[in-house]
Amino acid sequence: MYAYDELDRTLINERVSEFRDQVKRRLSGELTEDEFKMLRLQNGVYLQLHAYMFRVAIPYGTLSSKQLRQLAHVARRYDRGYGHFTTRQNIQYNWIKLAELPDALSDLAEVGIHAMQTSGNNTRNVTSDQWAGVAPGEIEDPRIWSELLRQYTTLHPEFSFLPRKFKFAITASEHDRAAIKIHDIGLRLIKNADGETGFEVLVGGGLGRTPFIGKTIKPFVHGRDLLSYVEAILRVYNQYGRRDNIYKARIKILVHELGIEKFAREVEEEWQQLRDSALTLDHADIEEIRSRFSYPAYEKLPHMPDELKQAAHDPLFERWRKNSVFPHKVQGYSIVTLSLKPVGGPPGDATADQMDAIADLADRYSFGEIRVGHEQNLALPHVAKRDLPVLWKALDKIGVATPNVNLVTDIIACPGLDYCSLANARSIPIAQELTRRFANHDTANLIGRLHINISGCINACGHHHVGHIGILGVEKNGEEFYQITIGGRADENAEMGTLIGPAVPYAEVADVIEDIVEAYLALRDRAEELFVDTVKRLGVEPFRERVYATR
């Protein structure tokens, strides 16, 4: 866990009282909506279809039980008893009243949580691997660096008015769980030949209307130079980014138009002037941040405790364990993923009661810590293996032990037309229908790892481009239609999916997905060949044939 310092607390509290005053002036008519809009966006407040939407940041996806209880409290007290966990380690509330927002913010500030820079043209929540600090084989905890970046970019005057929003993601593992290749800046923590920490820096990734996979701009930037190098990138962007056209304003467009070589040269030139400035981090800066992260006092535990051996006789427990429990860097411990994808439920939603119960379980079984991943699930990062059987029963009771992690029903979906004012079509009911179609666990297990991602419009909040199967809502003559892509992926081999054929109407989407899955089962050359690998091997054509032959 990270312990905030006095400066942080003061900053957050000042921000709350500032916003309280702004809301008061808005409600009295002293501020017009035109004047107020930017102020509310700076505090994570959007206007959606039914109400204001409030987005709260969960930096690098780490929450304490106390913080999660406060998120539950806000859901219960100021909203309709639930919240929606997003793909960028935020939580969104859908029904919040403007008049009560300052109180909600102030309650969150008590536990060091805020909504700064969760919207607007600034550097957004710095996201990271949800298994940071506990994943086996990780080089070092990437959250130290996420936190450094967070502190450096928060309210940085030069980066508060960028041409467009700007998103960082960091990983320190070989397997990328943070989707760094689809972020404006992606950082992969590595060591050089001398064993020094640094980063492979990727730039210009992103989805939306014009999707791009990020490109490596520099294979190794020394840790001490991270801030100066990032500043150099942001300066070049600030200087050349297209402020005249919102569709061309993201850094990915600039990188694409200049070409990565030219862009890299510009950055290098800028960096030469910055590299030995006050931005250079010394050992003490880094250690200061590191010292604020506390790690549990792990016990020395056996690899295979008796409790686990006994529980292995229960097929339901085994089914869940195989699906939701992952290796931990410390012997005798596990990482446990909590599925927020119950059959028939909206992906990523959690009720206040669930959040409270999870906070209690985290206290009892995970040293009071919870993680939020970009797949819209939660995780308990430090569970002793001997506790797995009791934990499973408790999680099952509150509906977060669906054994579908990484399977076809573990769907990423944006709010879509049920909530979002930009949507063309609904996302959530499509996801719900698919979870019902594939509710049989044996079928889902037979299919194996398969990520379905759904967005209600081209903004791609549901990451449809990088879903193994991607579903994008479009509008045709006032009706909801959906374009379907296959073969996308968001990991270290990130790729955009390929369109499989003409858009299909709402009522046919689930049938088409079933056809695609059936085609895969028939086409894969062995049970272990994942859906994406079959698509990679054969291309989309055989899938297209099977799906559209009868349509």
Partner 1 sequence: MTSPLEQKKIRITKPSMVTANRTWDGAVIYRTAAKGWSTNLSDAAIVRTADEARELLAESIADDVGAIGAYIAPVEVKDTGKIEPGNLREQIRSEGLTIDLTVPA
Selected binder of ligand SF4 within 113, 447, 457, 466 (CB under 6 A): 457
Confirm or reject binding of residue 482 to ligand HEM (CB under 6 A): no
Nearer to ligand HEM, 119 or 154 (CB): 119
Kindly state the helix (H) or strand (E) to which residue 202 belongs, with its residue range. strand 197-203
Sheet containing strand 378-384, strands side by side: 62-64, 369-372, 378-384, 333-338, 325-327
Confirm or reject binding of residue 456 to ligand SF4 (CB under 6 A): yes
Confirm or reject binding of residue 422 to partner 1 (CB under 8 A): yes
CB of 149 to ligand SF4, least distance (A): 25
What residue 208 binds from partner 1, ligand SF4, ligand HEM, none (CB within 5 to 8 A, per partner kind)?
ligand HEM
Judged by CB under 6 A, which stretch of 95-103, 127-135, 242-250, 450-458 contacts ligand SF4?
A: 450-458
CB of 379 to ligand SF4, least distance (A): 24
Q: Which two tokens stand for residue 78?
A: 């100021």
What residue 456 binds from ligand HEM, partner 1, ligand SF4, none (CB within 5 to 8 A, per partner kind)?
ligand SF4
CB of 416 to ligand HEM, least distance (A): 9
Confirm or reject binding of residue 81 to partner 1 (CB under 8 A): no
Confirm or reject binding of residue 265 to partner 1 (CB under 8 A): no
Nearer to partner 1, 4 or 95 (CB): 95
- The closest of 57, 162, 154 to 113, measured between CA atoms, is 57
**CB-based contacts of 276: which residues, under 8 Å, 6+ apart?**
none
Q: Which two tokens stand for residue 403?
A: 């054994």
Q: How far apart are CA 53 and CA 78, in angstroms?
A: 12
- The number of angstroms, rounded, from the C-alpha of 546 to the middle of its chain's C-alpha atoms is 33
Determine the angle formed by the axes of helices 509-523 and 541-548, rounding to 10 degrees: 130
Longest dimension (CA), the chain: 68
Nearer to ligand SF4, 209 or 536 (CB): 209
C-alpha distance across the termini of the chain, in Å: 53
Site for partner 1 in 339-398 (CB under 8 A): 346
Confirm or reject binding of residue 461 to ligand SF4 (CB under 6 A): yes
Selected binder of ligand HEM within 414, 417, 490, 509 (CB under 6 A): 414
What residue 418 binds from ligand HEM, partner 1, ligand SF4, none (CB within 5 to 8 A, per partner kind)?
partner 1
- The closest of 252, 164, 242, 239 to 207, measured between CA atoms, is 252
State the number of binding residues for ligand SF4 (CB under 6 A).
13
CB of 206 to ligand HEM, least distance (A): 4
Q: Which two tokens stand for residue 308?
A: 């686990």
Confirm or reject binding of residue 41 to ligand HEM (CB under 6 A): no
Judged by CB under 8 A, which stretch of 26-34, 165-173, 192-200, 221-229 contacts partner 1?
A: 26-34
User: Pairing state of beta strands 498-499 and 479-486?
Assistant: antiparallel
Selected binder of ligand HEM within 53, 232, 408, 484 (CB under 6 A): 53
Kindly state the helix (H) or strand (E) to which residue 333 belongs, with its residue range. strand 333-338
CB of 441 to partner 1, least distance (A): 21
Residue type, 212: F
128, 288 Cβ separation under 8 angstroms: no
Nearer to partner 1, 169 or 417 (CB): 417
Listed in sequence order, the DSSP H helices in 299-375 are: 306-311, 315-324, 352-365
Using CA atoms, how far residue 477 sits from 288, 424, 459, 481, 505, in Å, is 58, 11, 20, 10, 11
- The number of angstroms, rounded, from the C-alpha of 221 to the middle of its chain's C-alpha atoms is 25
Confirm or reject binding of residue 411 to ligand SF4 (CB under 6 A): no
Q: Is 262 exposed, middle or buried (0-12, 13-18, 19+ CB in 10 A)?
A: exposed
Question: Site mask, ligand HEM, residues 423-462, x = CB under 6 A?
Answer: ------------------------------------xxx-
Confirm or reject binding of residue 97 to partner 1 (CB under 8 A): yes
Question: Site mask, partner 1, residues 49-68, x = CB under 8 A?
Answer: xxxx----------------
Q: Which two tokens stand for residue 77?
A: 């007290």
Confirm or reject binding of residue 245 to partner 1 (CB under 8 A): no
Confirm or reject binding of residue 422 to ligand SF4 (CB under 6 A): yes
CB atoms within 10 A of CB 328: 21
Confirm or reject binding of residue 429 to partner 1 (CB under 8 A): yes
Using CA atoms, how far residue 431 sits from 212, 414, 434, in Å, is 25, 10, 5
Q: Point out which residues bind ligand HEM (CB under 6 A).
A: 46, 48, 53, 86-88, 92, 164-165, 182, 206-208, 250, 414-415, 419-420, 422, 459-461
Q: Point out which residues bind ligand SF4 (CB under 6 A).
A: 414-416, 420, 422-423, 455-457, 459-462
